[in-house]
Every structure is written in C-alpha cells, then in structure tokens.
C-alpha cells in the first residue's frame, strides 16, 4: 500500500491505530476555552468526533495518514505585490488531493477485499496533524505545522480511515531542538512554541475572519493578502524541500506576474477568472478586497 501511495505521487504514507486522542483532548479543550480559534466556530463543533475517528467510521481500526507535496520555487514577480500563500498558487488542494486518493482506495479494496473506509482532505473534524505524527509522517513543529525529516513541511495532509486492522508505524519524534525561528519571525506574534493563537494568525485574519481586520494588526500583515508562509519560510528543515510534480498545482503565469497596482485595482470579474478553481475562492472577492484595502490603508 505504501509503495502504491508513492507510485501515485504521495510524499509519504503511514499508519496509526484508530483510537481516542487522549493526549490531544485536554489541549484542544484549553485552546478552545481560551478563544484561540477566533470566529472559527466550526472548530468547537463535533468535539468528540474530532478526537475519535471511530465516530466518523464505525468500527475503524486504522488511520492511514498521507502527505502530498506542494512546494514550488515559483514566486510572484513584483516584490511590492500583495502576497499569496504558496498552497493557493494552483487549483484547490481539497479537490486535487481527493482525486489522488481515489485510486489508492481502489487499490486497497482490490488488495484487501471489501473494507469500510472514508477519505478526508481537510474536510471533516479530523485532527490531521496528530494522526500524521502518530503515523510517523512527521512531528508537529513549534509552529504547529507537521515537519518531515529530509522533506520539510510544504505538504498537505489527508487521511483514509478504515476498519482494516493494519500494522501501525512508530510515531515521529520531535527534531525542532532549541530552534525558535518560526516563533521569532511571526509578524503578529501568533506563535508560541508548539502553539498558535489562531485569532492572531495572518491566515485567519485574511481568510477565516469575516469582519473587519482589527486595527491592532495595522502594518503587521507583512504584505500578505491571502494566507501566510513566514513560519515555513524561516524553518531550517525546509532546505530539504523539493518541487512538487503535480500539474494542477502549477500557478498561472498571469497570477505570478500580477503587479501591485493590478492587485489593488482588481475587479470582481478579474478575480473570478484568475482564481477559478482556486482555494482563494474561500475568501471570496469581498474578503480579498478587504485584505488588500487593509494592506494599503490599514483599515
């Protein structure tokens, strides 16, 4: 199965035993209690389901965790242009990675017989990072992204939860050491070692937040209009990252060549054309326009 996942283009594949996430439960409860999810009310929904995959797939015995590379050396041409998080350069990863999972699930069915299974790509109450760490994909770094030795952190996570009883892998161990580059580099001081205040994260402010961006963040978005890559850009482990080979993630030349004034003068028609099939649609034209105004005017 792991060989087939590799053949299909996945960066890594690991297995964990499907069980209640006892260590994560109190941390999640505390994080929610402290309001660090901001206005992401959905994070507080399905608390029990989020912590136990057997509530998503009755009788589940294994969580197959997979990583899919999205690293690219492509960059926006205009250094003054508002920035877009790298993961949104190409087509929406939810759909692309879900399509890549389908032949793997078919292979599992063919090889192991009829089995109950469901695939998830950041699309259900699944604690993807916890499962990735348990399955040996990588450890949860100080910025709370999953880091894989020899590969870095520029990858998407997805899971197949199944009632097949598979041999679990050894959990990944932490290799952040004394490094705190991500903590020190965060423009809004959202990161504490192994924790993120989601309500202060630039990705939250430019994507999830539906209201006006609070004035306390004026001059602190560091040029980001959609998402933020700072904590990954400064991580030493990402020197091992290699470019992906997924055609659907290739950015449009027009997008990379967009000048600052074109970003700020973007019409809804241009937005719809430029970001067709993109994860940027999550923010909608109104959300992106708000972020662009805030970058320019601080309001």
Catalytic site positions:
122
Report the b/e string of 138-150 with b at 16+ CB within 10 A. Answer: bbbbbbbbbbbee
Angle at 230 between CA 13 and CA 276, to 5 degrees: 70
Residue 196: strand pairing partners:
191
How far apart CA 162 and CA 60 sit, in angstroms, is 5
Distances (CA, A) of 51 to 20, 26, 125, 135, 196: 6, 10, 8, 16, 19
CA distance 17 to 142: 25
Q: In 10 A of CB 297, how many CB atoms?
A: 8
Distance CA 59, CA 41 (A): 28
Q: At CA 276, angle to CA 270 and CA 277, rounded to 5?
A: 160
């Amino acid at each position: 199965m792991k060989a087939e996942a590799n053949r299909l283009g996945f960066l890594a594949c690991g297995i964990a035993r499907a069980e209640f996430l006892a260590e994560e439960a109190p941390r999640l409860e505390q994080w929610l209690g402290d309001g660090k999810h901001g206005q992401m009310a959905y994070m507080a929904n399905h608390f029990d389901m989020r912590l136990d995959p057997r509530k998503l797939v009755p009788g589940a015995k294994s969580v197959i965790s997979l990583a899919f590379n999205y690293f690219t050396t492509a960059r926006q041409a205009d250094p003054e242009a508002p920035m877009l998080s790298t993961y949104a350069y190409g087509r929406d990863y939810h759909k692309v990675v879900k399509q890549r999972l389908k032949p793997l699930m078919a292979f599992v069915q063919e090889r192991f017989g009829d089995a109950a299974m469901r695939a998830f790509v950041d699309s259900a109450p699944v604690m993807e990072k916890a499962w990735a760490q348990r399955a040996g994909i990588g450890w949860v770094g100080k910025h709370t992204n999953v880091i894989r030795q020899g590969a870095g952190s520029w990858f998407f996570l997805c899971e197949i939860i199944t009632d097949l009883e598979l041999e679990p892998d050894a959990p990944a161990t932490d290799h952040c050491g004394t490094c705190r580059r991500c903590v020190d580099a965060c423009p809004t001081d959202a990161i504490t070692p192994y924790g993120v205040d989601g309500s202060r994260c630039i990705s939250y402010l430019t994507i999830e937040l539906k209201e006006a961006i609070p004035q306390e963040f004026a001059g602190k978005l560091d040029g980001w209009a959609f998402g933020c890559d700072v904590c990954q850009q400064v991580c030493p482990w990402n020197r091992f990252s290699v470019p992906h080979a997924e055609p659907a993630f290739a950015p449009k030349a027009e997008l990379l060549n967009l000048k600052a004034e074109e970003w700020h003068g973007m019409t809804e028609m241009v937005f719809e054309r430029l970001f067709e099939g993109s994860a940027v649609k999550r923010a909608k034209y109104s959300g992106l326009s708000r972020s662009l105004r805030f970058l320019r005017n601080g309001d």
